[in-house]
A and B are shown apart, each in its own frame.
Chain A
Amino acid sequence: KAGVTQTPRYLIKTRGQQVTLSCSPISGHRSVSWYQQTPGQGLQFLFEYFSETQRNKGNFPGRFSGRQFSNSRSEMNVSTLELGDSALYLCASSLSSSGGNEQFFGPGTRLTVL
């Protein structure tokens, strides 16, 4: 079974631009979560989608948004990029949105904002 895939793997943008990251979950997984990973803060939860609906949202500004499609693929968008948005963005999928399900992570997208 193929794992979680994320595209692109690396991205360089400048301040003020916007970016869209993509995540394809494991086949059959309907829950997709997004995390921001930085050296100082660890993994910070951005949001979780299940069946095209945002079920949970972390404490991030409105510049961070996402969506999920009917095939469970998900995208996240960051508008008006800031230097502090430079991070590894990780996507994780799980079977359902109920608790205690193992999350499978993708390799991440490394975003650098100049």
Chain B
Amino acid sequence: QQQVKQSPQSLIVQKGGISIINCAYENTAFDYFPWYQQFPGKGPALLIAIRPDVSEKKEGRFTISFNKSAKQFSLHIMDSQPGDSATYFCAASAGNQFYFGTGTSLTVIP
């Protein structure tokens, strides 16, 4: 059973546009929600993370929106750039056990 559900599976956005990736979870024990970015041939790298006591966190062009009651969180990439083309994973953890979404392949067209 997939603990964290991620959509869409793939996303194509024009340069300068907004990329939005959504995730949903069921386990209310999760207390840490990171997003990872992965380029081909590399391991995932932490992009931004949020805890359930805040509803939004922004770092540069990347924003996490968190809806605790709906058990959903999303990643917004503003002013998307071709260099943002990568696979993005959401995750949720309770303790040090992490559960990952199935990933979203983002392509930003110049």
Interface residues of chain A, those whose CB is within 8 Å of chain B, are 4, 31, 33, 35, 40-45, 48, 50, 55-56, 90, 92, 94, 96-108
Contacts and interface: CB of A to CB of B under 8 A. Distances in A.
Interface of B: 6, 31-32, 34, 36, 41-46, 49, 51, 89, 91, 93-103
B103 A56 contact: no
Contacts, number: 65
A49 to B, nearest CB: 10
Decide if the interface of chain B is mainly helix, strand, loop or mixed: strand
8 closest A-B pairs by CB: A105-B43, A42-B102, A43-B100, A100-B32, A56-B97, A97-B96, A99-B95, A105-B44
A31 B98 CA distance: 13
B46 to A, nearest CB: 5
A97 B96 CA distance: 5
Given A4-B43, A107-B41, A108-B43, A101 B89 contact: no
Given A42-B6, A96-B96, A97-B96, 20 more contacts: A31-B96, A40-B102, A42-B101, A43-B100, A44-B100, A45-B97, A45-B98, A48-B96, A50-B96, A56-B97, A92-B43, A98-B95, A99-B32, A100-B32, A100-B51, A100-B93, A102-B46, A103-B34, A107-B41, A108-B43
